[in-house]
Structure 1
Amino acid sequence: MKLTITKQFQEFILNLGLSLKELLQKAGIPNLLWKEELVVNEQQYYRLLQEFNTHITNEQLLAFSEVKNINMFMPPIFAALSAKNGMEALERFITYKKLIGPVSVDMQILEDTVRIHFSFVYPEQELPRFALLNEQLLLISLLRTGSGKEIIPLLVSSPFDYGKQIKKYIGILPEKSKDNLLVFQIIDLKQSFLTQNNSMWQFIEPELKNRLSTISEQHTFTSTIQSTLFQAIPSGHFSLNDIAHSIGVSTRTLQRNLRTENTTFNQQLQTTQKLLALNYVLNNNLTTNEISYLIGYADVSSFSRAFKKWTGKTISQYRNDYFEHNKKSFS
């Protein structure tokens, strides 16, 4: 995914006492801040959240979560502020949230209340304290800014401690629980927004819809593993531990995430080795020994057996059939 990080937002983070350049470096993310953008996959984004979590203070977190400080940098937040009330604002925020990061928002509307739950796109990976509290505080700030009222949630819960400053800002004592929850009264969410701006919304809505449409297919955890394996296999460092370390998760989390997508690490390893092999065997400059080494097989005989299992043909047969077919196609 591509994230826009304006010079002004970079300055804002720097003024908080945080170095985005250093955080990116520690998270292993290429620094493209000079282009005012970041290109990250879900696991890189998660590592960045973890780095923020390590270095940010409660005071900095509150400033980072204050809508008036960041709405000019976040189009989905501006879209929410342009809504007629809190209910519409939440719907817009949830719709366009994927434009600013792989965090999912679930909203459950009951008779008198609305319940909000946050999760990382891969539920097996729990949101770090910074990320979760930031999301909860951001919605509280959004509703207060839009309505001009000191809206106080009925309930706030998470597995984390909040600290005195954050508790005072929320207005109620947060509960500690295994999961997270943010509950508002519907009567509070139906209050008109002072920030409602229909003309501006009509102007930016097409652009936001266009950005959503460019997300052609959702990245899966499986695609992340495959992409990592494609780079790791030729190097010889592609064990479960190697890949888990590479993307910044535990081996247990990696396996759980794959299970939720009905696959396993070994299946993805075999699939990637097969795709690499099918590409390499069509290169006449590579010997069978070299291909075997490049796709991570210790000996040629094992690779040859695997290749025949994948294709139903020997390597020589596969090559001959391929080039013969192409020869006829161009004759």
Structure 2
Amino acid sequence: MKLTITKQFQAFIKEQNLSLEHILEQAMIPNLLWKEELVVDEQQYYRLLRVLDECISDEQLLALSEIENINMFMPPIYAALSAKNGMEALERFITFKKLIGPITIEMEEVGNNVQIRFSFLSSNQELPRFSLLNEQLLVVSLLRRGSGKEIRPISISGPFEYGETLTHYLKCVPEKSQGNILIFQQEDLDIPFYTQNNSMWEFMEPELKNRLATFSPSPSFLETIQNELFQSIPSGHFSLSNIAQKVGVSNRTLQRNLQAVNTTFHQQVQQTQMILSLNFLQNQNLTTTEIAYLVGFSEVSSFSRAFKKWTTKNITQYRKEVNKSKGNSPN
């Protein structure tokens, strides 16, 4: 999953006294902010939510949930604001939400009310407090911004405490419950949006639908394991048990799922070590000893033998070829 993180959005995060670099480091997500994007799988995204849950205040949560602050950074929200009313806005938001995060939204009309529930794409993982409250607040802010009215939920609940700051913003008393629900009166969702913009929607709709058609929200189990190995091998914690725990399965389940696609955990470790080695050897500032440790070898001799087996070349030969291809003189 590729998430666009513009320079402007990065600056907004910084204004909230949050360090996006530190958050990514804590979540073990590669820092590609210089490219104005993040590439994450479901598990990495979930870790990101967990880290935010631990470091963010309710005031910061509210700032990140205000449509006025974030709509310019997220096309699906802008598309929702361009709708004719709240009901159409929610339908658009639900349709395109997966483009900005693996959160599932269910909406149901019950009598004169509309009920909304949120869940993580993987049903076995519960939404952290930050994520659930952010989604609920986002919907309230969207309806208020579009209609120009202070729309209040009939009811809002979740398994967490909401706190005084968020309760004051919602203008209703949240309830603590095992699940989560957000309920509005149908008549409030029928209020015309003064932000309606048919020209903008006609411009955006084809691109959003194209993104949706090519979107792959859930990586395969093999891709998930590979992503975890790329993150874990340089840290030295990449045993079968380590990786199984990170993806939330037993050792046996991990092995069985890999066998189903004709591979083994050992083969995946070796393949990842080889790819990491080839990448690290492009960096002339890293010694062979340093690279050996970074790819999970305690001894340089073992690393050298493995590299020769993988590539049929020794490390010195490979580095000479890299220097030649770059037009450098070997050290």
Give the TM-score normalised by the residue count of structure 1.
Answer: 0.74
CA distance in 1, matches of 2:6, 2:267: 43
Q: Given that residues 29 and 44 in structure 2 are in contact (C-alpha distance below 8 angstroms), is that contact kept between their aligned partners in structure 1?
A: yes
Amino acid at match of 2:87: M
Query: 1:143, 1:151 within 8 Å by CA — same for their partners in 2?
Result: yes
Alpha-carbon distance in 2 for matches of 1:156, 1:221: 35
The aligned counterpart of 1:42 is 42
Establish whether residue 274 from structure 1 lines up as the match of residue 263 from structure 2.
Answer: yes
* Unaligned segments of structure 1, at least 5 residues: 248-252, 280-331
Q: Deviations over 1:181-240 (max 9, x none)?
A: 00111110001001000001001111111111121x44256345443587689x99443x
Native 8 Å contact 1:225 1:268 kept in 2: no
CA contact (8 A) 2:82 2:195 kept: yes
Counterpart residue number, 1:254: 249
- Structure 2 vs 1, CA of residues 79 and 30 (structure 1 numbering), >3 Å: closer, same or farther? same
Partner of residue 18, structure 1: 18
Partner of 2:92: 92
2:218 is matched with which residue? 219
SS for the counterpart of 1:274 is coil
Q: Which amino acid aligns with 2:30?
A: P
The offset of 1:245, in angstroms, is 4.0
Task: Give the C-alpha shift of residue 246 in structure 1.
Answer: 3.8
Q: Aligned pair 1:159/2:159, yes or no?
A: yes
**Residues 90-129 of structure 1 aligned to structure 2 (within 5 Å):** 90-129=90-129
Structure 1 residue 15 displacement after superposition: 0.2
In structure 2, distance between residues paired with 1:201 and 1:274? 46
Q: 1:137, CA displacement in angstroms?
A: 0.2
Q: Secondary structure at the match of 1:149?
A: coil
Tell me the equivalent position of 2:181: 181
SS at match of 1:150: coil
- Paired residues of 2:49 and 2:128 also in contact (CA < 8 A): yes
Q: How big is each residue's C-alpha offset from its partner over 1:61-119, in whole Å with a ceiling of 9 and x where there is no partner?
A: 11110000000001000000000000000000000001001111111112211111101
Separation of aligned partners in 2, 1:105 and 1:94: 6
Does the CA contact (< 8 Å) of 1:225 and 1:243 recur in 2?
no
Distance 1:174 1:276, change over 3 A: closer
- The match for 1:265 is 254
The alignment partner of 1:146 has SS state of helix
Matching residue of 2:81: 81
Q: 1:127 to 1:221 in 2, by over 3 A?
A: farther
Asked whether the 8 Å contact 2:255–2:265 carries over to 1, the reply is no
Q: Deviations over 1:46-68 (max 9, x none)?
A: 11111111110011111110000
d(CA) in 2 for partners of 1:237, 1:268: 18
**Are the equivalent residues in 2 in contact too, given 1:82–1:196 (CA < 8 A)?**
yes
Q: Which amino acid aligns with 1:185?
A: Q
RMSD: 2.6
- How many residues are treated as equivalent by the alignment? 266
1:140–1:270 CA distance, 2 compared to 1 (3 A)? same
Distance 1:88 1:236 in 2: 48
Cα separation, 2, equivalents of 1:187 and 1:159: 28
Q: Deviations over 1:26-65 (max 9, x none)?
A: 1111101011000111111111111111110011111110
Aligned equivalent of 1:58: 58
Amino acid at match of 1:50: R
State the alpha-carbon separation in 1 of the partners of residues 49 and 40 from structure 2. Answer: 12
Matched ranges for 1:117-156 at <5 A: 117-156=117-156
The answer to whether the 8 A contact 1:119-1:126 is kept is: yes
Per the alignment, do residues 223 and 109 of structure 1 end up closer, same or farther by CA in structure 2, a change over 3 Å counting?
farther
CA distance in 2, matches of 1:127, 1:167: 20
Give identity over the alignment, percent: 55
Shift of 1:276: 7.9
Aligned residues of 1:66 and 1:141 also touching (Cα < 8 A): yes
Contact 1:226 1:268 in 2 (8 A): no
Q: What secondary structure, in the 3-state scheme, does the structure 1 residue paired with 2:249 have? A: helix
Instruction: Tell me how far apart the structure 1 counterparts of residues 267 and 245 of structure 2 sit (CA, whole Å).
Output: 27
Cα distance 1:174–1:230, how it changes in 2: closer, same or farther (>3 A)? closer
Structure 2 counterpart of 1:201, which letter?
A: W
Amino acid at match of 2:256: Q
Q: Cα deviations across residues 283-326 of structure 1 (Å, max 9, x unaligned)?
A: xxxxxxxxxxxxxxxxxxxxxxxxxxxxxxxxxxxxxxxxxxxx
Mark the CA change 1:153 to 1:223 in structure 2 (over 3 Å): closer, same or farther.
farther
- Tell me which amino acid in the other structure corresponds to 2:49: L
Structure 2 unmatched ranges of 5 or more: 269-331
